Amino acid sequence: MQLNVKSVITIVVVVAGVAAGIYTMTTKPAPVSPAKTAGQLQPGAVMPPGHPPVSQGSQQAGSSSPDLMTMSPVHPPVDQGSGQETQRSGKVQRDPNARFTHFRVGNSNVKSIFVDGKITWVGTSSGVIRYDTGTDEFRMFDNRSGLLSNGVFYLDKLNGRIVAGTYGGGLSIYDHTLDKWENLNVPDGLADAFVYGVLEADNGDIWIATWSGANRIRGGNLKDRSKWDVFTVENTNGGLPNDWVYGFAKGKNGEIWFATEGGPARFKDGKWENWNHKTGIGAPFEKVKNDPQFGTDPSKFSSHHAQQKKEMGLEGIGVAYNPNYIISIVVDRNGVVWCGTWGAGLARFDGKKWRNYTMADGLPGNHIFTLHEDQAGQLWVGTNNGLARFDEDKNKIKVLTTADGLFSNAIFSMATGTDGSKWLGSFGGVTHLAGP
């Protein structure tokens, strides 16, 4: 489908390197506090091999400096020498009837989107954006606002408050009443300062996914240090297959599923079970080797990834392929587990066996960055090469790409609004797809 150009609204409003906006924009200055940095690690704490560096300055860990201003092709020239403070709040004007709207975020990646009523929260590698869809007002939060790290990987709501998992700055919790961020880091009990996910179990326990294992806070009292546990490969006797826990999903019967770099794991009734490529996860390399790949092989630049590949017997594969690397996970309303792999397609588990879907089955790409089930029970698959709407009942996959109106074909995050509209995060921007 070719999209009518008039239905695409590209907005540009600059927010400390993160932009969202339209043809015209109005802004207002916001108070700026001195930049904060991540606190010292707990005495005796040792970074695992290959751990990303934790920034000791104002720049977030694991990210290059973002653009100060992002402009659409028709934006008038901007004076770069004025020294004017970058916008941190303002209001955008957009066409409410447009099917596709693009919000640009500069040289930043959008790794998480969370919709809370009329408020859409956008987590980027330059901070958190709060966007009010009712008033079109936005506000930027970063390390000048109280975050310890600008790099945000995860957003959700916990006990009525927004939580942000960050790169190197631990877990940040926003108190709307006080307009203040509270930060929890390694000295507070976190297994690691890199946080990739948070989940509240049916029994009230809170789980936190980190680079160095998973935390469990029994009863959910984050203030009680005695209630904090850490689960690792070592202390679970391999039940947790890898210490890099990339996310969680809650099973139909309350069990907890873990996405790790060594395959998925399940924690149920105090017992662990895990799976990997040898037990059915991910398509074999021979099936996907001729399909388009995403970027370069990280094992060529990271000792951590190189070691992982060696342990999994993948040294001879020089492209971005690791079937055990689970980078997204969701359990649908029927209890079926879906896992997104790094180059080996989409894995489906019905409780007995795994089935893998790849480009040969109609997916636009084999790197599955995000999985999302909307309110209607529809499964959406964000890949390196487009967005797929997966209709299992009809055995049909519908694909959307930039040709249809997406900002980018690489979809890293997704959320559904209360009106059924879709929010899609990519490097450099967000697509808002109107309608269910």
pLDDT, tens only, 129-147: 999 999 999 999 999 999 9
Which tens digits make up the pLDDT trace of 324-353?
Answer: 999 999 999 999 999 999 999 999 999 999
- 3-state SS, residue 147: coil
Task: Looking at mean pLDDT, say which of 62-71, 103-112, 192-201, 295-304 comes out highest.
Answer: 192-201
Kind plus residue range of the DSSP H or E element containing 309: helix 303-311
Q: Can you give the length of the chain in residues?
A: 436
Domain boundaries, the chain: 5-186+299-433
Kind plus residue range of the DSSP H or E element containing 113: strand 100-116
Say how far apart CA 349 and CA 337 lie, in whole Å: 5
CA dist 73 → 12, 100, 107, 255, 276 (Å): 10, 18, 16, 49, 46
Which tens digits make up the pLDDT trace of 219-274?
Answer: 999 999 999 999 999 999 999 999 999 999 999 999 999 999 999 999 999 999 99
CA dist 85 → 15, 152, 400 (Å): 10, 22, 38
CA 246 to chain centroid: 9
Place of tokens 């200055």: 29
- 3-state SS, residue 152: strand
Smallest CA-to-CA distance from 228 within 202, 252, 210, 247 is with 210
At 296, the pLDDT band (50, 70, 90 cuts) reads: low
Class of domain 5-186+299-433: mainly beta
CA dist 86 → 14, 72, 95, 126, 239 (Å): 7, 17, 25, 13, 48
Smallest CA-to-CA distance from 255 within 239, 266, 264 is with 266
Share of the chain above pLDDT 70, in %: 80
Say how far apart CA 382 and CA 404 lie, in whole Å: 15
Share of the chain above pLDDT 90, in %: 68
Q: Is the pLDDT of residue 82 over 50?
A: no
CB 156 within 8 A of CB 114: yes
Say how far apart CA 216 and CA 207 lie, in whole Å: 5
Q: Is the pLDDT of residue 21 over 60?
A: no
Of residues 214 and 313, more confidently modeled: 214
Residue 63 DSSP label: -
Smallest CA-to-CA distance from 86 within 48, 133, 45, 30 is with 30
How many Cα atoms are found within 13 Å in the side-chain-facing hemisphere of 303? Answer: 5
